[in-house]
């Protein structure tokens, strides 16, 4: 059958489609996670069920995708499969932090991504233990056989250390501690900045850093990527705060206005909506500028930043 373009030889520039990219990465991460996580045929099944329930509750896999996109930006796309255990460990740690954050003693949330939270589905005891298990499993995966067959042991140790520090008391947990305390009356710009930088930002930064280490990035590239990571981490949290005020509950899967009713310290509550939107816009610009030295391979990172800015959920 004759083609419509027959004889015309149209040579188009390949157009990068973020939706397709995200879907492809999400699929490879989901497949890897499903393989790494022990099945529900193991004993005691309830813990594996609870781990799987939260890990496959519709997460967008932003941290693992960032890790892989950084490798692509550094021209190391063909080694992305080496990074899958690291990418999946990041997602396990993120998921554990959500399970514990949602507990009645912390944020007391009933819904997460439109589904009952872990303690609502499995009871509070199992939610504590499923979180503990995902955190521990992340380190088992990082120190396990698969990664050791692909990556030098010194580099793996550096990656484990980066992730543990970002997730620990000077990072994600520190941010969560101050966030929990901020419910109790502390409220100033420094406190808010601390919460945003650490609670969400540090693990996002670590995702980018370990991607850069695995991709073999030099000092200059690492510095640029660190600026990019810092900006999008903070932007991510500000957009989260904005969505909590004016988002569509059906899309975010959370109760709208829950931060306000809880008297929670947020960017809009401290600076207003207008200033919050402006701040997020400035951070996006700075994130994109940090990538100016990178070529076309950094397109996913650029579009990811824009996607985080424009997201509706």
Chosen residue from 59, 64, 85, 131 binding its own copies by CB under 8 A: 131
Is residue 106 at the binding interface for its own copies, with CB under 8 A as the rule? Answer: yes
C-alpha distance across the termini of the chain, in Å: 45
Q: Name the residue nearer to its own copies (CB basis): 111 or 173.
A: 173
116 has which bridge partners?
111
Sequence-distant (6+) residues with CB within 8 A of 12 are: none
Is residue 160 at the binding interface for its own copies, with CB under 8 A as the rule? Answer: yes
Q: How many helices (H) and strands (E) does the chain have?
A: 17, 2
Is residue 90 at the binding interface for its own copies, with CB under 8 A as the rule? Answer: no
Q: Name the residue nearer to its own copies (CB basis): 119 or 231.
A: 119
Chosen residue from 137, 240, 241, 259 binding its own copies by CB under 8 A: 137
How many chain residues interact with its own copies (CB under 8 A)? 54
Q: Name the residue nearer to its own copies (CB basis): 197 or 252.
A: 197
Copy the structure tokens of residue 25: 């990465």
Of 258, 236, 62, 97, residue with least CA distance to 177:
97
Residues 249-308 that bind its own copies (CB under 8 A): none
Chosen residue from 135, 283, 284, 287 binding its own copies by CB under 8 A: 135
DSSP code for 10: -
Of 66, 80, 64, 125, residue with least CA distance to 100:
125
Distance CA 260, CA 182 (A): 13
For 209, the 3-state DSSP assignment is helix
**Of 42-50, 53-61, 224-232, 292-300, which part binds its own copies (CB under 8 A)?**
42-50
Q: How far is the CB of 178 from its own copies (least distance, A)?
A: 5
Is residue 56 at the binding interface for its own copies, with CB under 8 A as the rule? Answer: no
> Sign of dihedral through CA atoms 259, 265, 268, 272?
positive
Q: Name the residue nearer to its own copies (CB basis): 100 or 254.
A: 100
Contact 103, 127 (CB under 8 A): yes
Of 244, 243, 310, residue with least CA distance to 281:
310
Q: Name the residue nearer to its own copies (CB basis): 178 or 256.
A: 178
Is residue 164 at the binding interface for its own copies, with CB under 8 A as the rule? Answer: yes
Q: Count CB atoms within 10 A of the CB of residue 259.
A: 21
Residues 175-204 that bind its own copies (CB under 8 A): 176-178, 180-181, 194
* Site residues for its own copies per CB under 8 A: 38, 42-44, 46-48, 51, 96, 100, 103, 105-106, 119, 123-129, 131-133, 135-137, 139-140, 142-144, 148, 153-154, 156-158, 160-161, 164-165, 167-170, 173-174, 176-178, 180-181, 194
């Amino acid at each position: 059958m004759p083609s419509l373009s027959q004889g015309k030889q149209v040579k188009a520039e390949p157009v990068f489609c973020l939706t397709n990219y995200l879907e492809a990465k999400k699929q490879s991460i989901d497949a890897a996670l499903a393989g790494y996580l022990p099945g529900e045929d193991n004993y005691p099944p309830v813990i594996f069920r609870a781990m799987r329930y939260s890990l496959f509750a519709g997460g967008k896999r932003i941290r693992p995708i960032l890790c892989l996109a950084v490798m692509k930006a550094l021209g190391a796309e063909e080694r992305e499969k080496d990074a899958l255990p690291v990418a999946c460990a990041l997602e396990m740690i993120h998921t554990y932090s959500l399970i514990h954050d949602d507990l009645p003693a912390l944020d007391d949330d009933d819904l997460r991504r439109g589904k009952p939270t872990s303690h609502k589905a499995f009871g509070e005891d199992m939610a504590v233990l499923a979180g503990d298990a995902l955190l521990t499993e992340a380190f088992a995966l990082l120190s396990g056989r698969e990664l050791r067959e692909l990556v030098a042991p010194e580099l793996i140790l550096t990656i484990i250390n980066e992730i543990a520090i970002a997730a620990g008391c000077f990072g994600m947990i520190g941010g969560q501690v101050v966030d929990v305390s901020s419910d109790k009356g502390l409220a100033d710009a420094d406190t808010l900045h601390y919460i945003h930088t650490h609670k969400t930002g540090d693990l996002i930064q670590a995702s980018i850093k370990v991607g850069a280490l695995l991709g073999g990035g030099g000092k200059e590239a690492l510095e640029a990527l660190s600026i990019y990571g810092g900006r999008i981490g903070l932007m991510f949290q500000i957009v989260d705060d904005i969505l909590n005020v004016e988002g569509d509950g059906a899309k975010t899967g959370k109760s709208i206005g829950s931060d306000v009713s809880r008297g929670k310290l947020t960017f809009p509550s401290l600076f207003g909506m207008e200033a919050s939107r402006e701040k997020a816009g400035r951070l996006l610009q700075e994130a994109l500028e940090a990538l100016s030295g990178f070529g076309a391979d950094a397109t996913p990172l650029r579009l990811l930043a824009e996607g985080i800015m424009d997201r509706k959920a």
